[in-house]
Amino acid sequence: MKALDKFVIKSFIGPLVLTFFIVLIILLLQFLWMYIDELAGKGLSAGILAELLFQFSLSFVPTALPLAILLAALMSFGNMGEYGELTALKSSGIPLQRIMRSLIIVIALLVLVSFYFSNYILPYSNRQARSLLYDIRKKRPDINLQAGTFNNDIDGFSIKVTAKDPATNRLDGLLIYDHRDKRGNVSVTRADSGYIKITSDETGMIMQLFNGYSYNEIEEKNVSYDSRKLPARRDTFKEEIITLSLTGFDLERSGNDLFKSTSWQLNLSQLSYFADSLMKDHNNKNEAMFCEFRDAKLFSEKNPIIAYMDQPETIPQRRDAVFTPVTIFDTLNISSKPMIIQRALENMRETGNFITSSSESMKINIRQVKQYEKDWHKKLTLPFACLIFFFIGAPLGAIIRKGGLGTPSVISIFFFVVWYVISLSAEKLVEEGLVSAIPGMWASSYILLPVGIFLTYKASTDSVLMNVDTYLQFLRKIKEYIIRIPLTDKIRNRNYNDDGEKQ
C-alpha cells in the first residue's frame, strides 16, 4: 500500500468510528425516548437493560452506517481541503479520483459487511430484541405504594396507606381489602403502622402490621335472601403478618420462535420463499373464490330463485320457452312475485358480502407479500446507500473545504433527511401496493446517485460550486439584466415619434 493510500485511509477511519458511535447513540436515545414509558417502573435489572440496548444497537447498525460514512467522508475530505492537503496533492498531479480510490475499496468492503450483517446477523438480533421487549411489556410493574391512593397491582388485594417513609419503608394508616373471594369488600384489615419486606426469592411480599383489626363477613350458604343474618367476625391485633404472592412481577422470557415468521426476522432466501409461497397461496385462493362464486352463486342448479321458479304450478311453460328473466318473471303469479324479488335481494346481499370478505382477505395477503418484497429489497438498498453517501460526502467535503463536526454535520443531516423521507414515503407506497417494490424501494438511490456523480464531477474539475461569491455575482448579473430592460425600452421609445416613424 502506498503512502497516499495509508494517509487517506487513516484520515477517514478515525472520523468513521467516531461518527458511527455518535449516530448509534442517537438512535438508541431515540429508542429509549419512544419506549421509556414501557420500561420505567418495571424493576428491570442492569443486565436486562444492557441486553436490550445491545440487541437494539445491533438492529440500528445498517441505518447508522450510511450516515456515519457520509459524515466521515465530509469531515476527512473537508479537513484535507481546509489544511491545504488536497491542494498539495492536486498540484503534484494526483487527481481526486486517485485520492478516492483506496477509500472506494474500503467502502466496497463496508458495503459487503453491511449486507452480510443485514442478511445474517440482523434477523437474529431483531428476534432477540423484539422478544425481550415483548417480555418486558408483559411484565407487571413493581409495586409502588403511594400515600393517599389505592394500589391494585397485587392480584386480589387493594391497598391504601396514608403516609410512607421511603428511608425505613414504614407505612402509616394501612387499609387492605381482600378481594380474592370476589365477593366485594367483605374482608378488610386496618392497621396504624407496618413495614414491607420482599422475600429472598422475590416471589412474595411480607407485610408486618401493628395495632389494628380485621373485619370479615362470613358467607352464608343455602340461605334465602330474607332469612340472612349477615354474620361477621372482627379480630384485633397488636402485630400481624400478612404474606402476599408476587407472581407475575418477575420477567418471564418467551421463546425465540415467537416472531419467527415476521419479515424483519428473515434473510433474503427466507423472504423470497415466504413471498413466493404466499403469492401462490393467494393465486390459489383467488381461483377457488372465483370458482365458488361462479358455481355456487351464479350458475348453481340449487339457486334458491331458480329452485322456486322450477315449481310446475308457478312456471308450467319454462322448458318450452327461451330462458329470459323478463319473460319468466312476467309469467309468474302476482302473489309469488314479491317472494321472488325478496329472494333475489337476499341472494344479491349474500353475494355482495361474499365478494367483500373475499376481497379483504386477498388485500391482506397482497399486503403481506408486499411487506416481504419491501424487506427483501431493503436488505440491498441500505448497503448500497453506503456507497451513494460516500460519493456525496467525499466530493462535497473537497468542495466546501470545511472539517470538524459543524458544517459537515449540517450538510450530512440534510442529505440523510432527504434520503430518509424519500425511502419512508416509497416504503409506504410499496406496502399499499401503489408502487411495485423495485422502483419504490430504490427510489432514493435513483435520486441521490446522480447527485453523487454530479458532485464528484464538480469536485474533480475544481468547481466553485460552494463559493458564495459565485452565486452573489450571478444574482448581480440577473439584477443588472432586469434593470437594463426598462432602460432599453425607454431609449428605444425616444428614437421614434408618435406615428412610429424614426426621428
Pairwise CA distance, residues 76 & 103, whole Å = 11
Contacts of 440 (CB under 8 A, 6+ apart): 374, 426, 427, 429, 430
pLDDT (0 to 100) of residue 319: 47
Give the pLDDT confidence of 408-443 residue by residue, as tens digits.
778 888 888 899 899 889 888 888 888 888 888 899
Q: Which pLDDT value is given to residue 314?
A: 46
Bridge partners (DSSP) listed for residue 210: 193, 239
Burial class (CB within 10 angstroms; exposed 0-12, middle 13-18, buried 19+) of 266? buried
Average pLDDT, the chain: 78
Average pLDDT over residues 364-393: 88
DSSP SS3 for 274: helix
- Cα separation, 313 vs 156, whole angstroms: 70
Domain ranges of the chain: 150-245, 467-503
Q: Mean per-residue pLDDT for 440-461?
A: 88
Question: Is the pLDDT assigned to residue 474 strictly greater than 80?
Answer: no
pLDDT at 23 over 60: yes
Percent of the chain with pLDDT over 90: 13
> What pLDDT does 140 receive?
62
pLDDT of 317 higher than 50: no
Q: Is pLDDT of 283 > 70?
A: yes
Place of cell 358467607: 219
CA atoms within 13 A on the CB side of 357: 8
For residues 310-329, average pLDDT? 50
Task: Quote the CA–CA distance of 176 and 244 in Å, as a whole number.
Answer: 12
Average pLDDT over residues 262-286: 80
Please give the Cα distance from 395 to 369 (Å, whole number): 39
Query: Which pTM value belongs to this model?
Result: 0.67
Residue 156 has pLDDT above 80, yes or no: no
Q: Is 208 left (phi over 0), alpha (psi -120 to 50) or beta?
A: beta
One-character DSSP codes across 437-468 = HHHHHTHHHHHHHHHHHHHHHHHHTT--TT-H
Has residue 304 got a pLDDT over 90?
no
Burial of 49 (0-12, 13-18, 19+ CB in 10 A): middle
Report whether 44 contacts 142 (CB < 8 A): no
pLDDT at 390: 93
pLDDT at 79 over 70: yes
Q: How far apart are CA 127 and CA 50, in angstroms?
A: 16
pLDDT attached to residue 17: 93
- E strand residue ranges, 89-248: 150-151, 157-160, 163-165, 170-178, 187-198, 204-217, 232-245
Confidence (pLDDT) at 82: 81
* Residue-level length of the chain: 503
Look at residue 237 and give its three-state secondary structure.
strand
User: What pLDDT sits at residue 142?
Assistant: 58
Q: Which residue has the higher pLDDT, 328 or 11?
A: 11
* Strand partners of residue 496: 502
Contact (Cβ atoms closer than 8 angstroms) between residue 392 and residue 456: no
Is the Cβ–Cβ distance between 130 and 138 less than 8 Å?
Answer: no
Does the pLDDT value for residue 463 go beyond 70? no
Place of cell 458511527: 20
Please determine, for residue 164, whether its predicted confidence score (pLDDT) is greater than 60. Answer: yes
Q: What pLDDT does residue 115 have? A: 93
For helices 46-59 and 122-138, the axis angle rounded to 10 degrees is 140
Geometric angle at alpha carbon 455, from 454 and 458, rounded to 5° = 90
Confidence of residue 493 (pLDDT cuts 50, 70, 90): low
When mean pLDDT is compared over 152-161, 221-230, 285-294, 479-488, the highest value belongs to 152-161
Say what percent of the chain tops pLDDT 70: 76
Element at 73 (helix H, strand E): helix 61-82
DSSP state, residue 149: S
- pLDDT grade, residue 485 (50/70/90)? low
Burial of 173 (C-beta count, 10 Å sphere; 0-12/13-18/19+):
middle
User: pLDDT at position 24, please?
Assistant: 92
Give Rg (Cα) of the chain: 38
Identify the weakest region by mean pLDDT among 137-146, 234-243, 277-286, 426-435: 137-146
